[in-house]
Amino acid sequence: MDPMEEDDGISLNHINVGEINLTPTFMPNHEVIPRLTLYERVRLDTLTSINFLEFQGNINIIAHPERQILFKGFRILEKRLNRLMVHGDIEEKDKLDAFLVYLKLGHICLLAGDYARALSTYQHALRLGEEHFWKDSGAYFGLGIVYLHFKAYGSAIEAFNRHLYNNSTSMTASEANARLGVCYKAVKLFPDALRHFHSALNDRVAPHFLSHPQLKLNIALTHDSAGDIDKAYRECNDLLEDTSTHTPNETWLMAAIQRELGWLCYRKVDADQCQTSDERRAKLAEAEQHLHESKRLSPDSGKTHYYLGRCYGEQTPAKAHDAFLNYRASIDKSESDSDTWCSIGVLYHQQNQPMDALQAFICAVDLDPEHSAAWTNLGNLYETHYMFADALTCYKKAIKYNPSSPETLSARISVIQNELQQSPALLNQQPRTGPYLQSGCSARLPALKEAGSQPIPAELRQRQEEFIRSKQQRYRDGSVLWRMGELANTRTDPPLIHDNRMLNPSELNMLRIFKYAESKLDLTCQRVLENLEARLKQYGCTEGVDLPICKYTISELKNHSDVESETVLQNFSTIFDIDDDGNPVVKPKEEVAEDASEEEKERPPRGSDRATVTHTELPHSFSLLAPLKISVDVTAEEVMEKSNKRVTKPNEFTELFVEKVAPPSPPTPPEHKPGEILQRPTPIITIESRKDAHSIELHKFCESSPIVLIRGLATQLKMDLSLFSTKTLLETCPDHEVEVRTQYKMPPDLNVNHLGLPTWSCDSQQGFTTIRKYAEYQAENFKRSLKEESDKIRCQSAKYGVAETALKRRKMMEENSKLKEIKFGTNVDLSDDVKFKAQLTELAKMPPFCRVIAGCNLLSHLGHTILGMNTVQLYMKVPGNRTPGHTENNCLASVNINIGPGDCEWFGVPYEYWGVIDKKCREEGTDFLKGAWWPNQEELIQMGVPVYRFTQKPGDLVWVGAGCVHWVQSTGWCNNVAWNVGPMTFSQMMMAVHQYEWNKVQNYKSLVPMQHLFWQIAKNVRLTNSKVYNLVRGMLIRSLSYCKMIVDWAERHNIHVKYQPRMHDEHSHYCCLCQVEVFNLLFVKEEEKAKGTYGVWCVDCARRGNIMDYSVLQQINFVDLNEIFNKFQLHMISKTTLVV
């Protein structure tokens, strides 16, 4: 029931989008350009990907009442594109036109179900005008749908998130959220998947993509995939009992729930939750019961049969036959399920039918070459037949594709490898009658290379290839509509909807157009207008709708219009304009011309100047990066008054900041200078006196450097670093909690997987222990290392003396070739100022710019703690512990001191290059923000990324500059202490804000609540730097204006706004759905309060739900905000005075 199960898209690996020509091969290029009626023209202009469901929903596209529009639109746009092409290329002057045509074509192809052409045209549009792409509210949405169709989940995630950045309250938000849930689940980012499913569930507009019960089932499936079987089981049972959410007729849904319950019960047996054999039997019986019920409801599901097969397979030999029957039935229903083939293989192997087992495993890995379990089982089959070389190949494949127990497999690999090294004759070993071979059956299994030509896999492969080929051909052909040339000569009869269904964005736009040109409409359009108006009256419309960009297509279409619509269309040609900031312009040209004063008429005809703008109830998006449209000298009262007009005098309202902005993108890295050495020398500053330590030069140098190693500071300031040693901590707080990361010890210059192949991904398991236990581990590890060293020496001498036994030697080789597990004691919280008084007092000896608490440190003004940022954390290490690559939260700077006794090795890359690393992380299958990765230094340098690399000795302090990407490994036994600092510089603040916005698009929580921070700075700090002052002032204007608009909006909707002042030390709030900072105005649910839970929603997430469920808690009233705002001034100082 996973929506992707129903989806018939093939993976992008099977299709070359570049080879998709715009003109399908069967379509004559000289065809006459079709004519559009007025209705068709307007409808075409308002169609975007947002209409996807109307076209691709339930109706067969051939029978769709508006199929002519798609056909005609496709032909007209294609012709236009041909005209823009000069020798296969587009001239610079025509780029914008071509962008718009491609974009529209993308929408039209998508609506017609021509996914490959839609992808190709969207990608062309993106290449031609990435800076405009986001302005069309359907562009990223459409692109996301297409990527999802081709199962390109990472790209789909990016597209949908970008769509949501400006459309988080639009009708498409629930559609995007539901799809994001599916994508995040597919890439195994389960918490993100859950958040998006919940977001879609919370929306009052239920997505078509997944109904509410389907969303709930997906939530259960996500818990299951995340490993929480019990939670999944509970959710499924609740869903089954919750009859109010679905009708019994939705049998397929019930079948899916029963199937999942059966599968969960089956795995509860496996998960060792059944202690006794009775419990085991009972659980299996429950599983079978659910699966039979599922089969009764939906007899055609291959999966149900497969799961039943698994249940019976557990009860072999008694139920082996039933297992086979169900597997067979599963294959009959869907033969491309690699899991089923794998299980069939296991069963045949158990039943001592090795040839059949082999064929089944080969089918599994043919269908899914990354099926780790199938490779493992196949390896096992070969091994039991003494075919070690093939077994080895299979195990290596299994480990490459991420098996559940890589250690066991890598141990197996090294055993076989060593055996083969010792006795090469094993390679040619003949099969023997063993426990798995029937006596007398001495035939050798076909080798891996030959196994594919066995009858079953060969036939399956042939059918699969045929299937892929026919799919590819269908993608090349595109929509069936393109073949229906007769559509050029028929007219569309507009479908009139007579229920009170909410107007979708396209219909709303149509309504606007028809209203403007009411007097010039033909009869058909008048009827449509009446219908739309009637529906608008009944239901109203949704927030956040937007006009598509189609000015150019309209002006093109004009040339081929029916004569009677010509005049009307001329007036439309500016209706669909967007202004410089991407806002829609809706007032027709002629009206503006009449209204305009003399002065206005003389102005150059720029979109935003000659027309007015419609305003949604609240801004499309609230970005701290939005350009201001007002002077920073404005007073608080003026901000309030201007903002209030949005509700009280909408015609007079003008934006204080741009309300629709491009989603943020990473910085462009500086040009690489020829001959530039990218292995950069790290600045090392040696402190020789207390004065040096406190010098302004040191402070300024650090603030302007990506990374600095400061030596001698602790000594000069007479700091006693032994307070942070394991010995002292063991004496003072042995039971203090330590987070432990179990890692693999890597070769110093590499990061490898279990096969020893280079990778960027790092694995670690999280756990918890105490200082006492970690201290024991550290000491133990040290002793063991000493012993190993002496063993090595002994082994060396053995060469000349007593020979080791072969067995012992082999064992040692085996040990050495395995990746060893090591433990890293990380993020030890030293925030308790009573428990760690001595330690924290010691750190206060540092110069202010490095201190945990200082007036010049942004984080000291927050008024609350953020663990590990404005509090100290300790790291306890053994050699080889790695802190994977990252930038600090919100790109803040940080300080790290090595306590010793061993060293650490550091790597750093300046801020400007993080986008390059981010991109590379995606290519490497990991995630810059959410993944754990260890970069390959050589690769970075080849990519033109400069790298700092240096050793931090005991006592050395590393200053990690704002936004510096860094990764660290210990080369000895040592402890480190670290915390963040926020220099009050323009560049630090800009980076923090940029990251804050970037995090929104990445669904990543910003630990630094930037809005709150800016108000605190305004309240507490006397700024003397005009650039910094203007930046902060701008933030206050946006924030104040937004708060005012929210409160006005809430009051207009009769939502209760209650003043509830912030408590001392109260932490900042984040939206429980989208995780953005919720500043000042907390949307809470009364019913939750009654239950004692206190979820906080942001205005946008609340608005998507049922607004009447919420009330608002205002934490700082406007009198106080205004006072802070007005009192916040730039403090001019004479040049001789020190600047903050």
Ligand X SMILES: O=C(O)CCC(=O)C(=O)O
User: In the complex with ligand X, which residue's Cβ is closer, 116 or 978?
Assistant: 978
- 1078, 1096 contact by CB (below 8 A): yes
User: In the complex with ligand X, which residue's Cβ is closer, 302 or 880?
Assistant: 880
User: In the complex with ligand X, which residue's Cβ is closer, 145 or 958?
Assistant: 958
DSSP secondary structure string for all residues of 1014-1080: HHHHHHH-----HHHHHHHHHHHHHHHHHHHHHHHHHHHTT--EEE-PPPTTPPPEE-TTT--EE-S
Q: Which two tokens stand for residue 735?
A: 């039971």
The least CB distance from residue 771 to ligand X, in Å, is: 17
User: In the complex with ligand X, which residue's Cβ is closer, 46 or 976?
Assistant: 976
The least CB distance from residue 988 to ligand X, in Å, is: 15
User: In the complex with ligand X, which residue's Cβ is closer, 134 or 906?
Assistant: 906
The least CB distance from residue 887 to ligand X, in Å, is: 9
User: In the complex with ligand X, which residue's Cβ is closer, 129 or 884?
Assistant: 884
User: In the complex with ligand X, which residue's Cβ is closer, 145 or 869?
Assistant: 869
| Distance of alpha carbon 510 from alpha carbon 500, whole angstroms | 17
Could you give the C-alpha distances from 943 to 127, 203, 672, 913, in angstroms and in order?
A: 22, 44, 10, 10
User: In the complex with ligand X, which residue's Cβ is closer, 682 or 976?
Assistant: 976
The neighbouring-strand residues paired with 1016 are none
The least CB distance from residue 987 to ligand X, in Å, is: 19
The least CB distance from residue 407 to ligand X, in Å, is: 24
User: In the complex with ligand X, which residue's Cβ is closer, 20 or 892?
Assistant: 892
Phi/psi at 1016 (nearest 5 deg)? -65, -40
The neighbouring-strand residues paired with 27 are none
The least CB distance from residue 898 to ligand X, in Å, is: 8
User: In the complex with ligand X, which residue's Cβ is closer, 256 or 1007?
Assistant: 1007
The least CB distance from residue 1067 to ligand X, in Å, is: 22
For residue 848, the SS3 value is helix
User: In the complex with ligand X, which residue's Cβ is closer, 582 or 983?
Assistant: 983
| Distance of alpha carbon 543 from alpha carbon 170, whole angstroms | 6
| Distance of alpha carbon 1046 from alpha carbon 423, whole angstroms | 77
| CB atoms inside a 10 Å sphere around CB 793 | 10
User: In the complex with ligand X, which residue's Cβ is closer, 50 or 965?
Assistant: 965
User: In the complex with ligand X, which residue's Cβ is closer, 947 or 968?
Assistant: 968
User: In the complex with ligand X, which residue's Cβ is closer, 482 or 967?
Assistant: 967
Q: Which two tokens stand for residue 283?
A: 């659980």
Phi/psi at 884 (nearest 5 deg)? -60, 170
Could you give the C-alpha distances from 513 to 508, 535, 827, 981, in angstroms and in order?
A: 9, 16, 59, 54
- 139, 501 contact by CB (below 8 A): no
Tell me how far the alpha carbon of residue 603 is from its chain's centroid.
Answer: 45
* Helix (H), strand (E) counts: the chain: 46, 21
The least CB distance from residue 875 to ligand X, in Å, is: 4
The least CB distance from residue 897 to ligand X, in Å, is: 9
Report CA torsion sign: 549, 553, 555, 558: negative
The least CB distance from residue 968 to ligand X, in Å, is: 4
Q: Which two tokens stand for residue 221?
A: 């499936």
Could you give the C-alpha distances from 989 to 409, 673, 891, 1008, 1124, in angstroms and in order?
A: 49, 28, 9, 11, 20
User: In the complex with ligand X, which residue's Cβ is closer, 615 or 966?
Assistant: 966
The least CB distance from residue 764 to ligand X, in Å, is: 13
The least CB distance from residue 883 to ligand X, in Å, is: 4
| Distance of alpha carbon 986 from alpha carbon 980, whole angstroms | 17
Q: Which helix (H) or strand (E) holds 471?
A: helix 455-477
Best CA proximity match to 461, nearest among 336, 328, 332: 336
User: In the complex with ligand X, which residue's Cβ is closer, 760 or 1110?
Assistant: 760
The neighbouring-strand residues paired with 156 are none
For residue 247, the SS3 value is coil
For 85-206, where are the alpha helices, taking DSSP H only? 95-111, 115-133, 139-149, 153-167, 173-186, 190-202
| Distance of alpha carbon 14 from alpha carbon 188, whole angstroms | 23
User: In the complex with ligand X, which residue's Cβ is closer, 142 or 961?
Assistant: 961
Q: Which two tokens stand for residue 740?
A: 């432990």
Q: Which two tokens stand for residue 635?
A: 């007073």
| Distance of alpha carbon 735 from alpha carbon 731, whole angstroms | 10
The least CB distance from residue 916 to ligand X, in Å, is: 20
The least CB distance from residue 669 to ligand X, in Å, is: 22
The least CB distance from residue 894 to ligand X, in Å, is: 4
User: In the complex with ligand X, which residue's Cβ is closer, 229 or 960?
Assistant: 960
The least CB distance from residue 977 to ligand X, in Å, is: 8
Q: Which residues bind ligand X (CB under 6 A)?
A: 875, 883, 894, 896, 960, 968, 976, 978
Best CA proximity match to 899, nearest among 714, 739, 756: 714
Q: Are strands 893-901 and 882-886 parallel, antiparallel or unpaired?
A: unpaired
Size (the chain), residues: 1140
- 75, 81 contact by CB (below 8 A): no
The least CB distance from residue 952 to ligand X, in Å, is: 8
The least CB distance from residue 719 to ligand X, in Å, is: 17
The neighbouring-strand residues paired with 974 are 877, 901
Best CA proximity match to 989, nearest among 943, 1031, 1038: 1031
- 1008, 893 contact by CB (below 8 A): no
